[in-house]
Amino acid sequence: MTAHPDPSAAITLRPLSQDGSRIRILRALTAYIEAADLGAGDKLPTERTLAAQLGVSRPTIREALQSWQAMGLIDIRKGSGTYLAQEIGAASVHMPVTIQLEKRAVFHLLELRRVIETDAARLAVLRGSVEDIDRLRVALEAMETAYSVQGFANKEDDAFHEALYVASGNPLYLQVFRQLYVKVVENFNASADNPFVMTPFVDHSQPDHRALYEAIAARDPDAAVAAVTRILDFVETTLRDDA
């Protein structure tokens, strides 16, 4: 089997002629990503390589990359490397949002999510392709299977809602969901004070997820918005009762 060279390997970064500030480093990395035609899932050079090519220290590179990681743009995997989580380019707009990681922050995010997700459901009805709806069905079935086997399905639930945002045709909705809501929930899931893994979600949330899929498949915007509203109402009510 013939090994094909990595086309990005021939592309290098030029040393920064001025100060190696975080903004200048990220601009240089953005230009590199575009020149190398890298996309979601592709691996970036190592911190050591980036530091050597840009002429800055590794801690400076690490700090710059961590700012991208905080926005959900890259995935830094210990022992493996740094991977793009989504498209990055000169025309991209990435808006960092600061939020205190405490339970009340989730209620603020639920308010934001309610606005974008009800509209995403409506748009999915109007714009969703056959492939989009099939992707939503597959995600739903994976979520239902996980719930029936283990009683919770955090990752599968995220995948279902991501499929909804993709079907809406508005990529900014998906970015907001990934950068804000999922990130905060992940922090709770890694702690002992986790309000998201609870048995009632199995009994009450799942029928509405299926109702949402069926409404989108039937091209019924009112039913889709109603299903999303019930899902978010239940999440908010349960969290308030648990507070």
Neighbour count for residue 80 (Cβ, 10 Å): 9
Question: What pLDDT digit, counting tens, does each position of 147-194 carry?
Answer: 888 877 878 888 999 999 999 999 888 888 877 666 666 655 554 455
Q: What is the mean pLDDT of residues 1-28?
A: 62
User: Could you give the CA distance from residue 149 to residue 233 in angstroms, rounded to a whole number?
Assistant: 25
User: Could you give the CA distance from residue 30 to residue 44 in angstroms, rounded to a whole number?
Assistant: 11
| Of 28, 55, 84, the domain-final residue | 84
CATH number of residue 212's parent domain: 1.20.120.530
The 3-state DSSP class for residue 94 equals: coil
With b for 16 or more beta-carbon neighbours within 10 A and e for fewer, the 31-44 pattern comes to ebbbebebeeeeeb
State whether 147 and 201 are in the same domain.
yes
Q: How many domains does the chain have?
A: 2
State whether 77 and 128 are in the same domain.
no
| Of 49, 84, 119, the domain-final residue | 84
Is the pTM here over 0.75, yes or no? Answer: no
Domain extent for 231: 103-242
State whether 56 and 126 are in the same domain.
no
Look up residue 39 and give its two tokens: 């996309």
State whether 234 and 183 are in the same domain.
yes
